[in-house]
Protein backbone atom coordinates (compact mmCIF):
# COMPACT_ATOMS: atom_id res chain seq x y z
CA UNK A 1 0.00 0.00 0.00
CA UNK A 2 1.09 3.59 -0.57
CA UNK A 3 0.53 6.65 1.60
CA UNK A 4 -3.05 7.98 1.58
CA UNK A 5 -3.11 10.57 -1.20
CA UNK A 6 -6.05 12.60 0.09
CA UNK A 7 -6.41 13.28 3.80
CA UNK A 8 -9.56 14.92 5.18
CA UNK A 9 -9.38 16.77 8.50
CA UNK A 10 -12.68 17.98 9.95
CA UNK A 11 -13.87 19.27 13.31
CA UNK A 12 -15.34 22.25 15.17
CA UNK A 13 -13.69 25.64 15.68
CA UNK A 14 -10.24 25.61 17.32
CA UNK A 15 -10.05 21.84 17.49
CA UNK A 16 -6.60 22.26 15.90
CA UNK A 17 -7.44 21.45 12.26
CA UNK A 18 -5.40 24.17 10.59
CA UNK A 19 -2.35 23.98 12.86
CA UNK A 20 -2.14 20.19 12.72
CA UNK A 21 -3.28 20.00 9.07
CA UNK A 22 -0.51 22.37 7.94
CA UNK A 23 2.14 20.49 9.93
CA UNK A 24 0.91 17.19 8.56
CA UNK A 25 1.05 18.46 4.98
CA UNK A 26 4.52 19.87 5.57
CA UNK A 27 5.76 16.57 7.05
CA UNK A 28 4.39 14.55 4.13
CA UNK A 29 5.31 17.09 1.44
CA UNK A 30 1.62 17.48 0.56
CA UNK A 31 -0.43 20.54 -0.37
CA UNK A 32 -2.40 22.00 2.52
CA UNK A 33 -5.78 23.59 1.88
CA UNK A 34 -8.05 25.20 4.48
CA UNK A 35 -11.60 25.37 3.08
CA UNK A 36 -12.76 27.63 5.94
CA UNK A 37 -11.07 30.61 4.28
CA UNK A 38 -13.42 30.32 1.31
CA UNK A 39 -16.55 30.62 3.48
CA UNK A 40 -14.85 33.43 5.40
CA UNK A 41 -13.92 35.25 2.16
CA UNK A 42 -17.54 35.21 0.92
CA UNK A 43 -18.71 36.48 4.33
CA UNK A 44 -16.09 39.24 4.36
CA UNK A 45 -16.98 40.33 0.83
CA UNK A 46 -20.71 40.38 1.74
CA UNK A 47 -20.00 42.59 4.76
CA UNK A 48 -17.79 44.89 2.66
CA UNK A 49 -20.55 45.29 0.08
CA UNK A 50 -23.08 45.81 2.88
CA UNK A 51 -25.22 42.93 1.62
CA UNK A 52 -27.73 41.73 4.23
CA UNK A 53 -26.58 38.32 5.54
CA UNK A 54 -30.21 37.19 5.29
CA UNK A 55 -30.21 37.83 1.51
CA UNK A 56 -29.64 34.29 0.29
CA UNK A 57 -29.79 34.94 -3.45
CA UNK A 58 -27.40 37.93 -3.42
CA UNK A 59 -24.91 36.06 -1.22
CA UNK A 60 -25.16 32.94 -3.38
CA UNK A 61 -24.46 35.04 -6.48
CA UNK A 62 -21.48 36.58 -4.70
CA UNK A 63 -20.08 33.11 -3.88
CA UNK A 64 -20.40 32.17 -7.56
CA UNK A 65 -18.57 35.24 -8.80
CA UNK A 66 -15.99 36.12 -6.12
CA UNK A 67 -12.48 35.10 -7.19
CA UNK A 68 -10.82 33.48 -4.16
CA UNK A 69 -7.14 32.59 -4.43
CA UNK A 70 -5.05 30.97 -1.72
CA UNK A 71 -1.36 31.41 -2.44
CA UNK A 72 2.00 31.11 -0.66
CA UNK A 73 2.47 33.71 2.13
CA UNK A 74 3.30 37.09 0.59
CA UNK A 75 4.29 38.61 3.97
CA UNK A 76 6.23 37.31 6.95
CA UNK A 77 3.66 38.14 9.64
CA UNK A 78 2.70 34.73 10.99
CA UNK A 79 0.26 33.85 8.21
CA UNK A 80 0.09 30.25 6.87
CA UNK A 81 -0.89 31.51 3.40
CA UNK A 82 -2.19 34.63 1.68
CA UNK A 83 -5.85 34.83 0.70
CA UNK A 84 -6.86 37.10 -2.18
CA UNK A 85 -10.49 38.01 -2.80
CA UNK A 86 -10.88 39.57 -6.25
CA UNK A 87 -7.15 40.32 -6.06
CA UNK A 88 -7.17 42.08 -2.64
CA UNK A 89 -5.20 40.65 0.30
CA UNK A 90 -7.86 39.77 2.91
CA UNK A 91 -5.81 37.25 4.92
CA UNK A 92 -6.20 38.88 8.33
CA UNK A 93 -9.57 40.52 7.60
CA UNK A 94 -11.02 37.01 7.50
CA UNK A 95 -10.21 36.56 11.22
CA UNK A 96 -12.22 39.59 12.38
CA UNK A 97 -14.98 39.01 14.97
CA UNK A 98 -17.57 40.29 12.46
CA UNK A 99 -16.66 37.43 10.12
CA UNK A 100 -16.81 34.88 12.98
CA UNK A 101 -20.25 36.22 13.82
CA UNK A 102 -21.73 35.91 10.31
CA UNK A 103 -19.86 33.08 8.62
CA UNK A 104 -22.12 30.23 9.80
CA UNK A 105 -25.39 31.60 8.37
CA UNK A 106 -23.57 32.28 5.07
CA UNK A 107 -22.15 28.73 5.04
CA UNK A 108 -25.59 27.24 5.58
CA UNK A 109 -26.84 28.46 2.17
CA UNK A 110 -26.95 25.46 -0.21
CA UNK A 111 -25.96 27.54 -3.27
CA UNK A 112 -22.91 28.92 -1.47
CA UNK A 113 -21.81 25.40 -0.57
CA UNK A 114 -22.40 24.17 -4.11
CA UNK A 115 -20.19 26.92 -5.56
CA UNK A 116 -17.36 26.46 -3.07
CA UNK A 117 -17.41 22.65 -2.93
CA UNK A 118 -17.01 22.54 -6.73
CA UNK A 119 -13.82 24.65 -6.41
CA UNK A 120 -12.57 22.51 -3.50
CA UNK A 121 -12.99 19.28 -5.48
CA UNK A 122 -11.04 20.77 -8.38
CA UNK A 123 -8.23 21.73 -6.01
CA UNK A 124 -8.16 18.21 -4.48
CA UNK A 125 -8.02 16.46 -7.86
CA UNK A 126 -4.25 16.78 -7.96
CA UNK A 127 -3.94 14.41 -4.93
CA UNK A 128 -1.23 14.55 -2.23
CA UNK A 129 -3.36 17.02 -0.30
CA UNK A 130 -4.49 17.62 3.28
CA UNK A 131 -7.86 19.34 3.09
CA UNK A 132 -9.30 20.88 6.25
CA UNK A 133 -12.90 21.92 7.02
CA UNK A 134 -16.27 20.76 8.33
CA UNK A 135 -17.60 18.47 5.58
CA UNK A 136 -14.48 17.23 3.81
CA UNK A 137 -14.84 13.58 4.86
CA UNK A 138 -18.63 13.54 4.49
CA UNK A 139 -19.31 15.61 1.34
CA UNK A 140 -16.33 17.17 -0.42
CA UNK A 141 -14.08 14.10 -0.55
CA UNK A 142 -16.10 11.08 0.61
CA UNK A 143 -13.48 8.85 -1.04
CA UNK A 144 -10.58 10.35 0.95
CA UNK A 145 -8.21 7.58 1.98
CA UNK A 146 -7.77 8.89 5.51
CA UNK A 147 -10.36 10.88 7.43
CA UNK A 148 -9.64 12.45 10.78
CA UNK A 149 -12.14 14.29 12.97
CA UNK A 150 -10.56 16.47 15.64
CA UNK A 151 -12.57 17.50 18.69
CA UNK A 152 -12.08 19.12 22.10
CA UNK A 153 -14.37 20.44 24.84
CA UNK A 154 -15.67 23.94 24.14
CA UNK A 155 -13.97 25.66 27.12
CA UNK A 156 -10.58 24.45 25.88
CA UNK A 157 -11.33 25.48 22.29
CA UNK A 158 -12.52 28.95 23.34
CA UNK A 159 -9.43 29.33 25.52
CA UNK A 160 -7.15 28.44 22.58
CA UNK A 161 -8.80 31.04 20.36
CA UNK A 162 -8.73 33.64 23.16
CA UNK A 163 -4.97 33.11 23.65
CA UNK A 164 -4.47 33.55 19.92
CA UNK A 165 -6.44 36.81 19.77
CA UNK A 166 -4.77 38.37 22.80
CA UNK A 167 -1.32 37.28 21.71
CA UNK A 168 -1.78 38.64 18.19
CA UNK A 169 -2.88 42.01 19.59
CA UNK A 170 -0.56 42.43 22.59
CA UNK A 171 2.34 40.20 21.59
CA UNK A 172 2.15 38.49 24.97
CA UNK A 173 0.00 36.04 26.89
CA UNK A 174 -2.93 37.38 28.94
CA UNK A 175 -2.78 37.61 32.72
CA UNK A 176 -5.52 36.42 35.07
CA UNK A 177 -8.41 34.01 34.82
CA UNK A 178 -9.97 34.06 31.31
CA UNK A 179 -13.45 33.11 32.56
CA UNK A 180 -13.65 36.63 34.05
CA UNK A 181 -12.51 38.38 30.89
CA UNK A 182 -15.47 39.62 28.79
CA UNK A 183 -13.40 39.02 25.65
CA UNK A 184 -13.10 35.31 26.51
CA UNK A 185 -16.83 35.13 27.30
CA UNK A 186 -17.65 36.68 23.92
CA UNK A 187 -15.32 34.38 21.98
CA UNK A 188 -16.84 31.36 23.73
CA UNK A 189 -20.41 32.52 23.01
CA UNK A 190 -19.71 33.15 19.31
CA UNK A 191 -18.04 29.74 19.07
CA UNK A 192 -20.94 27.90 20.71
CA UNK A 193 -23.36 29.65 18.35
CA UNK A 194 -21.22 28.88 15.30
CA UNK A 195 -20.87 25.19 16.28
CA UNK A 196 -24.63 24.96 16.79
CA UNK A 197 -25.47 26.42 13.36
CA UNK A 198 -22.72 24.37 11.64
CA UNK A 199 -23.95 21.12 13.25
CA UNK A 200 -27.65 21.64 12.67
CA UNK A 201 -27.78 23.00 9.11
CA UNK A 202 -29.65 20.99 6.46
CA UNK A 203 -26.79 20.73 3.97
CA UNK A 204 -23.45 19.17 4.94
CA UNK A 205 -23.74 19.57 8.72
CA UNK A 206 -20.61 19.31 10.84
CA UNK A 207 -20.28 15.67 11.93
CA UNK A 208 -17.67 12.93 11.69
CA UNK A 209 -17.84 10.70 8.62
CA UNK A 210 -18.71 7.10 9.51
CA UNK A 211 -15.21 6.02 8.60
CA UNK A 212 -13.41 8.92 10.30
CA UNK A 213 -10.99 8.44 13.15
CA UNK A 214 -12.08 10.73 15.99
CA UNK A 215 -9.35 12.28 18.11
CA UNK A 216 -10.23 14.18 21.30
CA UNK A 217 -7.45 16.76 21.49
CA UNK A 218 -8.61 18.43 24.74
CA UNK A 219 -5.57 17.28 26.67
CA UNK A 220 -3.20 16.73 23.79
CA UNK A 221 -0.42 18.95 22.52
CA UNK A 222 -0.20 19.79 18.83
CA UNK A 223 2.80 17.47 18.53
CA UNK A 224 0.87 14.56 20.10
CA UNK A 225 -2.03 15.05 17.69
CA UNK A 226 0.36 15.20 14.75
CA UNK A 227 2.09 11.99 15.85
CA UNK A 228 -1.25 10.21 16.26
CA UNK A 229 -2.25 11.14 12.70
CA UNK A 230 1.15 10.12 11.33
CA UNK A 231 0.60 6.72 12.99
CA UNK A 232 -2.69 6.45 11.09
CA UNK A 233 -0.93 7.44 7.87
CA UNK A 234 1.65 4.70 8.43
CA UNK A 235 -1.07 2.16 9.33
CA UNK A 236 -2.76 3.08 6.04
CA UNK A 237 0.50 2.54 4.22
CA UNK A 238 0.67 -0.95 5.70
CA UNK A 239 -2.97 -1.52 4.75
CA UNK A 240 -4.15 -1.54 8.37
CA UNK A 241 -6.07 1.72 8.42
CA UNK A 242 -8.08 1.15 11.63
CA UNK A 243 -11.24 3.20 12.09
CA UNK A 244 -13.23 4.31 15.10
CA UNK A 245 -12.71 6.35 18.23
O1 LIG B 1 -10.83 28.16 12.13
P2 LIG B 1 -12.24 27.87 12.55
O3 LIG B 1 -12.43 26.41 12.82
O4 LIG B 1 -12.71 28.74 13.65
O5 LIG B 1 -13.17 28.25 11.33
P6 LIG B 1 -12.98 27.95 9.80
O7 LIG B 1 -12.48 26.57 9.58
O8 LIG B 1 -12.21 29.06 9.21
O9 LIG B 1 -14.48 27.97 9.28
C10 LIG B 1 -15.28 29.12 9.41
C11 LIG B 1 -16.72 28.72 9.14
O12 LIG B 1 -16.83 28.33 7.77
C13 LIG B 1 -17.26 27.55 9.95
O14 LIG B 1 -17.77 27.93 11.21
C15 LIG B 1 -18.35 27.01 9.01
O16 LIG B 1 -19.53 27.75 9.15
C17 LIG B 1 -17.77 27.29 7.63
N18 LIG B 1 -17.15 26.11 7.01
C19 LIG B 1 -17.99 25.17 6.44
O20 LIG B 1 -19.21 25.30 6.52
N21 LIG B 1 -17.48 24.11 5.76
C22 LIG B 1 -16.15 23.95 5.66
N23 LIG B 1 -15.68 22.91 4.97
C24 LIG B 1 -15.27 24.88 6.27
C25 LIG B 1 -15.81 25.95 6.95
O1 LIG C 1 -8.27 25.24 12.60
P2 LIG C 1 -8.97 25.14 13.91
O3 LIG C 1 -9.95 26.25 14.10
O4 LIG C 1 -9.59 23.81 14.17
O5 LIG C 1 -7.88 25.29 15.07
P6 LIG C 1 -6.43 25.93 15.01
O7 LIG C 1 -6.54 27.31 14.48
O8 LIG C 1 -5.47 25.01 14.36
O9 LIG C 1 -6.06 25.94 16.55
C10 LIG C 1 -6.53 26.96 17.41
C11 LIG C 1 -5.44 27.30 18.41
O12 LIG C 1 -5.30 26.22 19.33
C13 LIG C 1 -4.06 27.52 17.78
O14 LIG C 1 -3.47 28.66 18.40
C15 LIG C 1 -3.29 26.27 18.14
O16 LIG C 1 -1.92 26.54 18.33
C17 LIG C 1 -3.94 25.85 19.44
N18 LIG C 1 -3.93 24.39 19.68
C19 LIG C 1 -3.44 23.90 20.86
O20 LIG C 1 -3.02 24.68 21.70
N21 LIG C 1 -3.43 22.54 21.11
C22 LIG C 1 -3.91 21.67 20.21
N23 LIG C 1 -3.87 20.35 20.48
C24 LIG C 1 -4.41 22.17 19.01
C25 LIG C 1 -4.42 23.55 18.77
Give the model confidence (pLDDT) of 75-120 as tens digits.
998 888 999 999 999 999 999 999 999 999 999 999 999 999 999 9
pLDDT of residue 243 exceeding 50: no
Q: What is the pTM of this model?
A: 0.94
C-alpha separations of 144 from 148, 150, 177, 216 in Å: 10, 16, 41, 21
Q: How far is the CA of 59 from the centre of ligand 2 (A)?
A: 29
The vertex-141 CA angle with 138 and 144, nearest 5°, equals 100
Report which of residues 243 and 128 the model is more confident about. 128
Nearest atom, ligand 1, residue 11 CA = 3
Pick the range with the lowest mean pLDDT from 4-8, 62-66, 87-91, 236-240. 236-240
Q: How far is the CA of 238 from the centre of ligand 2 (A)?
A: 29
How many whole angstroms from its chain centre is CA 114? 17
Instruction: Name the residue of 17, 19, 22, 36 whose CB sits within 8 Å of the most ligand 1 atoms, as the mutation to test its pocket.
Output: 36
Nearest atom, ligand 2, residue 20 CA = 8
Nearest CA to ligand 1 atom 4: 13
Please tell me the predicted confidence (pLDDT) of residue 244. Answer: 42
Nearest CA to ligand 2 atom 3: 14
Please tell me the predicted confidence (pLDDT) of residue 242. Answer: 46
C-alpha–C-alpha distance, residues 190 and 49, integer Å: 23
171 falls in which pLDDT band (50, 70, 90)?
confident
Pick the range with the lowest mean pLDDT from 101-105, 139-143, 168-172, 202-206. 168-172
Pick the range with the lowest mean pLDDT from 24-28, 74-78, 177-181, 226-230. 177-181
Instruction: Name the residue of 14, 26, 37, 161 whose CB sits within 8 Å of the most ligand 2 atoms, as the mutation to test its pocket.
Output: 14
pLDDT of residue 187 exceeding 60: yes
Report all structural domains of the chain as residue ranges with CATH numbers, in order of start. 6-235 (3.40.50.300)
Mean pLDDT on 167-196: 86
Distance, first Cα to last Cα, the chain: 23
pLDDT of residue 175 exceeding 80: no
Which spans in the chain are helix H?
Answer: 17-28, 36-48, 56-65, 97-107, 110-124, 154-170, 182-200, 222-237
pLDDT of residue 122 exceeding 70: yes
Amino acid sequence: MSLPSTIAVDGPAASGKSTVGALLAHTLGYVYFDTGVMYRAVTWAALQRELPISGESAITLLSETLRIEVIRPTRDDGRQYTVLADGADVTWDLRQPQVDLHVSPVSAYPGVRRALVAQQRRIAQQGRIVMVGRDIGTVVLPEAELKVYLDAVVDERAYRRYLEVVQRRAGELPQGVPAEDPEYVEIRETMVRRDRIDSSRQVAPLRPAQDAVIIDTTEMTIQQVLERILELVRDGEKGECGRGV
